[in-house]
Amino acid sequence: MVFLLSVTLSSAQQCDKILTGKVIDFHDGVPLKGATITFNNQTTVTDINGNYTINELCAVSYAFTVSHVDCNSQVFTIDMSKIISKDFYLEHHYTDLDQVNVDGPFQKKTTNSQAEEKLSRKQLDQYSNLSIGDALKEISGVNSLTSGNAIVKPVIQGLHSSRIIILNNGVRQEDQEWGEEHAPNLDINAFNEVRVIKGAGSLQYGGNAIGGVIIAENKLTSLRDTIFGNTQLAASTNGRGGSVNTALNLGFKKGWGAKIQGTLKHFGDNEAPDYMLSNTGHREQSFSTAFGYNNFLYGFEGYYSFYNATQGILRSSHIGNVGDLVRAINSNEPLIINDFTYDINAPKQETQHHLAKVKFYNRFKNLGRLNLQYSFQYNNRKEFDIRRGDDRDKPSLDLELSTHSLESNFLFDSNDNFKKNVGVQVSYQENIPNPDTGVRRLIPDYKKSSIGAFAITEFKINDQITADAGIRYDFVNIDAKKFYKKDFWDERGYDTNFSNLIIGDFGDQWLTNPDFEYNNISASAGINYTYSNQNSLLFNISYVNRAPNPVELFSDGLHHSAAIIELGDLSFDQESALKVSLTSEHNNIFGIVSLKVAPYLSSIDNFILLEPTGLDFTIRGSFPVWEYRQTNALLAGVDVDFGVDITKEIQFNTGFSYIYGQDTTADEALINMPAPNVRSQFVYQKEHWNVKLTNTSVLKQSRYPNNDFETSFIQNNTTVTRLVEISEPPSAYTLFDLSGSYSFGIWNPKDLTIMASITNLFDTSYRDYLNRQRFYADNIGRNITLNINYKF
Amino acid sequence: MKTKTYQLLLILFTISIFISCSSDDDAPMEVNEEETITTVILSVTESGSTTTELFNWTESSQDPITLKANTNYNIKIKFLDASNPDDVDDITQEVITEKDEHFIFYQTTVSGLTFDNASDDTIDSNDIGINISTDWSTGDTTAGTLKAFLIHEPTSKTGNTRDDFGGETDIEVDFNVAIQ
């Protein structure tokens, strides 16, 4: 590992020179004890104060290789005819390019005092033909909000969409995440690791993450000459399709590194146990590449990723009016069931996401590290409804979102006991809805500028207690151009409060220029107390604000997939959340048991929710009107993880989560709160084998607001009134999954893994409360997947 | 190296700001909804007569229909997009062109009021009349509601109630009917 550059030694010279000095940690200036200095097969070791003395040197140039455990060896060439003392600096805290967090690389967690979980590449591999949302369900307290099988949004402790930040390799993903049927536009195979911070206190990423942060990362390899990668093939019976993904990593000892990765997915219609789920196929093509350089002092990285997906929406979920909804609810089966096909017709979504970033860091002696990053994202979302005539192939929604972001932070990490991180983020975003759709814009043209600044610190109080604190300020300006129908404008009372926003008169529509500013202060503080034998207690309190998103402010029309009219409100204030969380972690009870209990309580003022307020009669029939409203909400819950090693080979683990969500103003339950659920697993692991039996049990959500409404029909020549039961959550269900994998070596040990899995083993018919298509069809049935992963 | 990277970043950001800002403050184009149906018209002709009465349904006003008791009528339905009063589109033609994907259906609370396809109805490729033109007969004096549906992509075109046809409801409007 340590190469010695030999130096010719001339025997004619006088060899009585002495070299003295210290070996010092570059990062914090601390002298390194036990560092070795090697030259010409001789080795000297530094003493407790980092001092060394080398005698009997000749007056020539020497190459000294200086090494220390955990440090990168460095070679220094010194001309002994000129120098008699020299201090060697070694980088003690050398890490990969991507390190934005306060914590050093030796800690596993990103945050000090918040509940945090991660999924490794190995866990992600099992989901290579699915999505990040599917994989994250492995984590207790993380659920998914779905629209069918392929559109999966993560829900962290009951909150989702605009209340969650997703970091795509250090860049905050901007992909119209406000929509409940807008899945994150990223490929699960592009990342080595996905972390979930179940809390609001990660202020370095953004001020509005009331729900939490998902950090998806992929680090470059460097500082060794290497080439490695993998190719993975997965084929599934349900959807009769599969995926292929391949990744290649290059690393060079001199500090260069590169990576290239791509995924293709192709699926046809999914199947529920009793019928085909027509028009639920999906396609995905994605690609990412990164290159970078890093050395002792500085490094940079360029990253580009592309994601392109087409996702079919269950045909029978496209409905015309309330009458159609009632028919769908009353029918046990979807009203449209066709033969299996790979074709994807309307209704469907086509999404594209480009992300490019450049990042740079520089280290300063005895001080810390400066990071600078610029990123650009372009997102295009097209949604196709079933339309007639010339508009048949036109999307009903076509949004282009461009986001520029420049951020910089300085991490003062020279003192391990007192770290500080300060930074600023400036971003500019422009949303352009294409007017050629012939459908009035769901969200308007807008320009959003934001500036955020944060300061966070982490300090050791004693060996057991580490405290953290942070503060963040965010300024958000939304400058929108929006058309309002004049009658609607008056009906909402905007003519009295917002008449100054009108900038144009277009017949029956006003052109308005809402230009709103939001100033948000967020703060967070916590402690991490570690005690006897791997136990820890984390406590965090955070106060976070979120500015309303464009839908909450501006929406004013029919939402087809839900058959409801959604109305936003221009007068909304930001949401303010105060969250207290506690995590009690015991990793080693009697050597075999681990237990983690994480209760939390979150009180959110001005919580924005959508609730029904009446019926609107249109030429298409009647529609329930849902209005966004601000209220005060209380979310309380607990996540419990328990694991036990039954034998050396067999492990049992289980995760449970419960959430209580209450609208404290209206004194009723919050809608769409995940039902109590348990996920349990028996894992058998021996040598080449890994076999898992997983059970997922979801109880019926008994706490829900009553949003049922009445509508009238003509039946046998008389008008009858029927209750439309949209509120009651579906029944409880329990599902079993079985998977087994076998790893063996062809050229290298364990370079080939073959995995077979069966999800929904007993082909159980069920519906899930957080699936937006629960009114129309069952969830998917049994799925057998064969997965071959070859590493090279 | 280091300063170069800084410069590169700075240039990139500056360019991007320029690009973003160069798109001016142009007002976006207004969107007038296409394929909207604003008006449903029933053209009612008494059997043997040549005079036709029109009954309009718009969101703001609905004409009440008066029919004679025990009489036969022909009713033709029309769909208009009058969102721009200067450029009224007749959507009925689109419905006729896409006859296989459309079906018109009526339901009523008026007892004795029944309908069937008329001989001049539009017939789809499966030989089913889509009820653009319908023949009606009235019963005794009474009053009630007539509900007209335009169904897009019905799962079936045979049946007696709205539930039998499936599909999506493009139009669902109520007329008040008096049989005198």
pLDDT digits (tens, 9 = 90+) for B64-108: 999 999 999 999 999 998 877 888 889 999 899 999 999 999 999
CB distance from A387 to chain B under 8 Å? yes
- The residue type of B150 is L
CB distance from A256 to chain B under 8 Å? no
The per-residue pLDDT for A70 is: 62
Give the whole-angstrom CA distance, residue B160 versus residue A390. 32
* Residue B176 in this model has a pLDDT that exceeds 60: yes
Alpha-helix residue ranges (DSSP H) falling in A296-344 = 322-330
Task: Supply the DSSP string of A269-300, one letter for each residue.
Answer: -EE-SSSEETT--EEEEEEEEEEEEE-SSEEE
Q: Do A620 and B58 touch (CB under 8 A)?
A: no
Set of chain B residues whose Cβ sits within 8 Å of the Cβ of A510: none
Question: B-contacting residues of A 467-506, CB under 8 Å?
Answer: 481, 483, 503-504, 506
ipTM of the complex: 0.83
Pairing, β A650-663 against β A677-686? antiparallel
The per-residue pLDDT for B7 is: 65
Q: What is the DSSP letter of A390?
A: G
- Residues A83-95 have pLDDT tens digits of 888 888 876 544 3
Give the whole-angstrom CA distance, residue A717 versus residue A168. 59
Of B9, B20, B31, the CB nearest to A440: B31
The per-residue pLDDT for A5 is: 38
Of B98, B145, B155, the CB nearest to A388: B98
**pLDDT band with cut points at 50, 70 and 90 for residue B14:** low
Residue B56 · residue B88 · CB < 8 Å: no
The per-residue pLDDT for A93 is: 46
Closest CA to A423 of A668, A744, A202: A202
Q: Do A388 and B27 touch (CB under 8 A)?
A: no
Min Cα distance B165 → chain A (Å) is: 10
Probe site for chain B from A388, A400, A405 (most B CB atoms < 10 A)? A388
Q: How far is CA A567 from CA A145, A442, A610, in A?
A: 22, 10, 9
The per-residue pLDDT for A423 is: 95
Min Cα distance B54 → chain A (Å) is: 18
Q: What is the DSSP letter of A31?
A: B
Please state the pTM of the whole predicted model: 0.86
The per-residue pLDDT for A101 is: 32
**Between B26 and A652, the higher pLDDT residue:** A652
The per-residue pLDDT for A674 is: 96
Residue B8: closest CA among chain A residues belongs to which residue? A358
Region label for A70, one of left (φ > 0), alpha (ψ between -120 and 50) or beta (otherwise): left
Q: What is the radius of gyration, based on Cα positions, of chain A?
A: 29
Q: What is the largest CA-CA distance in chain B?
A: 95
The per-residue pLDDT for A105 is: 33
Of B20, B145, B162, the CB nearest to A323: B162
Contacts of A128 (CB under 8 A, 6+ apart): A188, A189, A232, A234, A243, A245, A263, A787, A789
**Cα end-to-end span (Å), chain B:** 94
* Residue B17 in this model has a pLDDT that exceeds 60: no
- Rounded to 5 degrees, φ, ψ at A497 are -90, -25
CB atoms within 10 A of CB B108: 20
Give the whole-angstrom CA distance, residue A223 versus residue A95. 10
Q: How far is CA B100 from CA B97, B104, B172, in A?
A: 8, 11, 19
- pLDDT above 90 covers a percentage of chain B that reads 59
Burial level of A632, CB count in 10 A (0-12/13-18/19+)? middle
Residue B42 · residue B75 · CB < 8 Å: yes
CB distance from A93 to chain B under 8 Å? no
- Residues A401-417 have pLDDT tens digits of 999 999 999 999 888 78
Burial level of B101, CB count in 10 A (0-12/13-18/19+)? middle
Q: What is the DSSP letter of B163?
A: G
Question: B-contacting residues of A 131-160, CB under 8 Å?
Answer: none
Set of chain A residues whose Cβ sits within 8 Å of the Cβ of B30: 435, 483, 506, 509, 511
Region label for A148, one of left (φ > 0), alpha (ψ between -120 and 50) or beta (otherwise): left
* Cα dihedral A489→A494→A499→A500 (10° resolution): -120
Probe site for chain A from B10, B18, B20, B165 (most A CB atoms < 10 A)? B20
Q: Do A620 and B13 touch (CB under 8 A)?
A: no
Helix (H, G, I), strand (E, B) or coil at A782: coil
Residues of chain A with pLDDT below 70 are 1-13, 27-28, 70, 72, 91-108, 222-223, 560-563
Probe site for chain B from A385, A619, A711, A718 (most B CB atoms < 10 A)? A619
Question: Which residue, chain included where needed, has tokens 């959807």?
Answer: A239
* Residue B126 in this model has a pLDDT that exceeds 90: yes
**Between B21 and A731, the higher pLDDT residue:** A731
Residue A389: closest CA among chain B residues belongs to which residue? B94
Q: What is the token pair recorded at A305?
A: 């990723």
Give the whole-angstrom CA distance, residue A45 versus residue A41. 13
Q: Do A435 and B37 touch (CB under 8 A)?
A: no
Q: Do B9 and A323 touch (CB under 8 A)?
A: no
Residue B70 · residue B124 · CB < 8 Å: no
The per-residue pLDDT for A390 is: 77
**Cα end-to-end span (Å), chain A:** 22
The per-residue pLDDT for B8 is: 61
The per-residue pLDDT for A600 is: 96
Question: Which residue, chain included where needed, has tokens 């559109």?
Answer: A151
Q: What is the token pair recorded at B170?
A: 């493009």
- The residue type of B180 is Q
Task: Supply the DSSP string of A71-114, one letter for each residue.
Answer: S--EEEEEETTT-SB-PEEE-TT---S---SSS-TTSS-SSSSS
Q: How far is CA B61 from CA B38, B58, B88, B176, in A?
A: 11, 5, 18, 12
- Residues A610-662 have pLDDT tens digits of 888 888 888 888 888 889 999 999 999 999 999 999 999 999 999 999 999 99
Give the whole-angstrom CA distance, residue A314 versus residue A336. 9
Set of chain B residues whose Cβ sits within 8 Å of the Cβ of A300: 5
The per-residue pLDDT for A4 is: 37
H or E stretch covering B16: helix B2-22
